[in-house]
Chains A and B, each alone.
Chain A
Amino acid sequence: MSAVTTRRRVRGRDERSLAGSLLLHGTLIVASLISLFPIVWLVLTSLKPRDGWLSTELKFFDGASLDNYTRVLTETQFPSWLLNSVIIAGLTTVIGVFLASTTGYAISRFRFPGYRGIMWMLLVTQMFPVAILIVPLYNLMAGLGLLNQIPGLVIAYMTVAVPFCAWMMKGYFDSIPREIDQAGMIDGLSPFGTFWRVILPLARPSLAVTAFYSFMTAWGEVAYATVFMTGDDTRTLAAGLQQFVGQYWADWGLLTAAAVLIAVPAAVVFLLVQRNLVAGLTAGATKL
């Protein structure tokens, strides 16, 4: 907040003194530095030579090299973890978005017996702590032989992604005028036809956001991944990265390179969709 002092003449909304401007820009610059610094430092460290991270001095550059990247890609299981993460997150996204959009449409458009029950179910499921579900799910997976299997983890992620996505989709469907549905019906489409051919294409931006959200949920989940995927080559990234900085052995060089490889694509996609993401998150939630 700029220093807004009350004078005799009240200051308007877009006027401010020079000191106010300096303070405003100063605060924003400091905030931006804090927000950027860890990321910049990560990238710089990853570009240092093999043992560059073992420096107790404050060095920004230390002979740039791609050593850490070549090691992470050739000497570790990183590529297979990456592949696992991509497959798992991809499947979670496709199945999750499909389930979430049909449910979101139904609770947006129809009032049917069980409606309130479903709304509460979607809300409460989001609050579920990992701790209560993880043991029974673990036993369930063990019983079905799904531990260390990709489908097992995808199923577990459904419980996290679907309720929230259904909620977000409902918020978006609510904003599409019902007259469009009615027009579709008059033209002879069934309720499913209306949904599939008319509404779903209109909801593409929201589908993108939902898809992105599901993807990120699966991409970054730690607890289930750590417990369910324990084989050296079945880990996901979130579980695998812990191996680089274990209790007795740590190689931050490997870790920083891997972190950059994971974060850069995620960040790029993220920045493209973030505007819609916030609207989707809050719209869904305000409209229970």
Chain B
Amino acid sequence: MATSTGRVTGTTRDRAAGAADGARGRGRPGQPGPFRRAVSQYWYAWAMVAPVVVVTAALVGWPLVRGVYLSLTDATEATMGRTIGVNVIPSTYEFTGLDNYVDILTGGLFWEKLTWTVLWTVACVALHYGLGLGLALMLNRRLRFRSAYRLMLVLPWAIPPFVAAFIWRYLYNSDFGVINAMLRSAGLGTVGWLDDPTTAKIAVIAVNVWIGVPFMMLAMLGGLQSIPRELYEAAEVDGATPWQRFRFVTVPGLRTVSSTVLLLGTIWTFNMFPLIFLITGGGPGSSTEILVTYAYREAFTGIRNYSGSAAWGVLILLLLVVMAVVYRRALRKQGEVW
């Protein structure tokens, strides 16, 4: 794994040693000195990580604790304490235990949103990966105009996502959008892309695929180029068919980079807020709302339901953490040192 990107790594041995001694964070076994010795040995390392630890603790840790606490109360905009001018209105929300979670898990909405979020994530990541790998394989061949193709295919990634969201919203526009204009000039009926739950879902997936494929393509291309040519030559000498070469040389060679980009891609897509928020606003109704945008809507529209939103957030985080842990286990079983 350490040589996955083909770079020289100087710390492989240390990392292996660190993993081998197993004890949580104990760097150098066999030197169990007193506290002062630890300080004098590690103070510079601690000093270097201190700013990030402090920032993270203050801005992620504290809000997290507070978020978990809020999720156990009935805090809404109405009961949250605030200051208007010189009047300080105290908070009146109360601790309600797991009520929010029970409400969410027993109501149908959560499961409906979860189903769609999973579908959205799986569809997007599968298409990203499939198309990205396909294009990378094509670009990895000896080919005229290769850099031109590469440049054109990478371009969607260069557009900031919120700008891309607006572009596509305009393309999908039922009256003035170019997609419907094309359908009209082809003599076909127009489609209200963002007005119908099914087409709206297809539409947002299409946009996310458009945005996400370039990253996958470049990552896979990097992976392909780091597979030594000799392996292919040897396979050819052995009379392997193109399919066999793909199956037994390319696929194993891409495993490391694949596992990384799939994990990253899944997390990114799962939390992909701006696209859905800006293209459909979750609509029509709440049919394209994924978990993240729904929780946001709870918190910031109508009567702001802070506690409900926090409970949604905790559930989303739990889902992601469970996923990452399971994924890591699976990789370990395959012998990946991660």
Contacts and interface: CB of A to CB of B under 8 A. Distances in A.
Nearest to A166: B52
B239 A10 contact: yes
A57 B299 CA distance: 41
Interface string A254-281: 0110010011001100110011001101
B157 A274 contact: yes
B309 A99 contact: no
A114 B67 contact: no
A166 B53 CA distance: 12
Contact of B222 (A6, A109, A282): A282
A129 B278 contact: no
B7 interface: yes
Interface stretch (B22-30, B98-106, B194-202): B22-30
A102 B28 CA distance: 22
Given A31-B153, A103-B52, A133-B60, A266 B159 contact: yes
B5 A282 contact: yes
Nearest to B222: A278
A162 B317 contact: no
B45 interface: yes
A139 B161 contact: no
Contacts of B192: none
Residue from B143, B161, B166, B292 with most neighbouring chain A CB atoms (10 Å): B166
B204 interface: no
Contacts of B25: 112-117
Residue from B8, B152, B232, B300 with most neighbouring chain A CB atoms (10 Å): B152
Residue from A117, A195, A242, A278 with most neighbouring chain B CB atoms (10 Å): A278
Residue from B8, B38, B60, B134 with most neighbouring chain A CB atoms (10 Å): B60
Contacts of A237: 162
* Secondary structure call for the B interface: helix
Given A158-B59, A285-B260, A100 B1 contact: no
A34 interface: yes
Contacts, number: 348
A238 interface: yes
Interface in A40-98: 41-42, 45, 53-58
Interface string B197-214: 000000000000010011
B152 A32 contact: yes
B10 A282 contact: no
Contact of B59 (A39, A156, A227, A241): A156
Contact of A220 (B137, B152, B274, B316): B274
A287 B1 contact: yes
Interface in B258-282: 260-261, 263-264, 267, 270-271, 273-274, 277-278
14 contacts: A34-B210, A35-B214, A58-B184, A106-B45, A116-B24, A127-B317, A131-B291, A131-B313, A134-B296, A163-B52, A222-B162, A252-B176, A263-B158, A283-B4
Interface of B: 1-2, 4-5, 7-11, 14, 18, 24-28, 38, 41-42, 44-46, 48-49, 51-53, 55-56, 59-60, 62-64, 66-67, 70, 80, 82, 134-135, 137-139, 141-145, 149, 151-164, 166-171, 173, 175-176, 178, 181-182, 184-185, 210, 213-215, 218-219, 222, 232, 236, 239-243, 245, 256-257, 260-261, 263-264, 267, 270-271, 273-274, 277-278, 291-292, 295-296, 299-300, 306, 309-310, 312-314, 316-317, 320-321, 324, 338
